[in-house]
Amino acid sequence: MAFRIDPGQALDAEVRRIASEQLHKAERELGEDCSDRHATIHAARKRLKKLRGLLRLVHHADADFYAEENARFRDTARALSGVRDAAAQIEALDALAARFAGEVETKAFAAIRARLTERRNAAAASEADLEAAIDAALITLGEARRRLDGFVVRRPDRNGATLAAKGYARTYRRARQALKRAEKRRDAESLHELRKRVKYHWMHLRLLAPVWPEALAPLRDAAKAIADDLGLDHDYAVFRAEAATAPTAFGSSSDLSVVLALIDRRQSELRQAGLDAARRLLADDADAAGLRMRRLFRAARAVAARDSEAPAEAPEADRRRVAAS
């Protein structure tokens, strides 16, 4: 079932299964001998984020275990972030050029992209440092596998409805709090925090999708769109901050001024779209959202436990019994 929790199985068994799958894929991606290290590192870092999202869902099972393993995955991802951060700047610039392709004809994109590519290649050129970071990450992932293989939910609710709902509500509540701050401040830091919280909410919607796939799919898609929009906004904020401290690193001032003006327009669009959608996505009270998820989980578990060889009788069966009597 991949990155999905089967409500018919014990929650701790599902956590172990999903964690094992994500760790195996991350180890395989980091261990690959390929020319495109940017892509493999990016893929492995996404696995680490998924693992952090998974742990957040079962936070209440063991807060100390969560804190230790969450820190492990966070630090491992950071150690691999150098090349990926440089590549993200290029992707953000390409997205900006695509957004205004029909409105603005300028060579500024190509000039600045060339500078960003040089920086990315320079970051990747330290091959010894990169390989050392990958080797360290593989060792860390092996340690995480041993810890997660022993994960057990030591509480009466072993099938997980209450525990999963608590984790879901906790992440949802933090996303709502981040939304309030972002609406008030509307700065890069608060919007980036909102993006991170919504992204974890998106992961939980993915993990819990089997409790009601048709109803949760639109919410999952909305959360993904918000996270993508605000993630792109953050990339532009980072670019703007770097341009302010070292403008000559991006070529001529005329090229940079054109791109910065377009970034201003695009960030306004992204921020407004993200906030508007987040208000709808996070409209419910966190306690109510958690209660609803607990009930959905239990309903899905009851369906999974139903004997498939003894389906409910058709109405005709009742009528036949009445007629016979």
Average pLDDT over residues 96-124: 86
Q: Does residue 258 have a pLDDT over 80? A: yes
Contacts of 16 (CB under 8 A, 6+ apart): 148, 149, 151
**Quick check: 250 pLDDT over 90?**
no
Note the pLDDT of residue 38.
75
pLDDT of residue 37: 74
Sign of CA dihedral 39, 137, 63, 191: negative
pLDDT of 79 over the 80 cut = yes
308: pLDDT strictly greater than 70: no
Q: Per-residue pLDDT tens for 174-188?
A: 999 999 999 999 999
Residues ≥6 apart with Cβ < 8 Å to 265: 100
Do residues 254 and 109 lie in contact, with contact meaning Cβ atoms separated by under 8 Å? no
Question: By mean pLDDT, which of 25-39, 137-151, 243-257, 261-275 is the weakest?
Answer: 25-39
Q: Residue 6 above 90 pLDDT?
A: yes
| Residue in this structure with the two tokens 């019994």, named with its chain if needed | 321
Domains and CATH numbers, the chain: 11-304 (1.40.20.10)
Find out whether 249 and 89 touch, Cβ atoms under 8 Å.
Answer: no
Element (H, E) at 193: helix 188-207
Give the mean model confidence (pLDDT) for residues 193-204. Answer: 98
Give the pLDDT confidence score for residue 172 in this predicted structure: 98
Range with lowest mean pLDDT among 175-179, 211-215, 282-286, 301-305: 301-305
Take residue 325 and report the two structure tokens written for it.
């009597």
Cβ–Cβ < 8 Å for 194, 230: yes
Lowest mean pLDDT among 77-86, 99-108, 197-206: 77-86
- Is the per-residue pLDDT at 149 higher than 60? yes
The mean predicted confidence, pLDDT, of the chain is 90
Amino acid at 299: A
pLDDT at 122: 77
Closest residue by Cα to residue 93 from 273, 268, 266: 266
Query: Which one, of 195, 274, 273, lies nearest residue 234 by Cα?
Result: 195
Question: Taking 80 as the threshold, does the pLDDT of residue 294 lie above it?
Answer: yes
| Range scoring the smallest mean pLDDT among 99-113, 119-133, 161-175, 285-299 | 119-133
Task: Report the percentage of the chain scoring pLDDT > 90.
Answer: 71
Which residues have a Cβ under 8 Å from the Cβ of 281 and sit 6 or more positions away? 198, 201, 219, 222, 223, 226
Amino acid, res. 60: H
Of the candidates 78, 57, 29, the one whose C-alpha atom is nearest the C-alpha of residue 202 is 57
Q: What is the largest CA-CA distance in the chain?
A: 94
Q: Which residues contact 134 (CB under 8 A, 6 or more apart)?
A: 30, 41, 80
**What residues contact residue 120 under an 8 Å CB cut-off, 6+ apart?**
38, 83, 86, 87, 89, 90
Overall average pLDDT of the 212-239 stretch: 97
Residue 321: predicted pLDDT: 59
Phi and psi based region of residue 195 (left: phi greater than 0; alpha: psi -120 to 50; beta: remaining): alpha
Mean of pLDDT values over 185-197: 97
DSSP string, 99-120: HTTTT---SHHHHHHHHHHHHH
The mean pLDDT of 276-298, rounded to a whole number, is 97
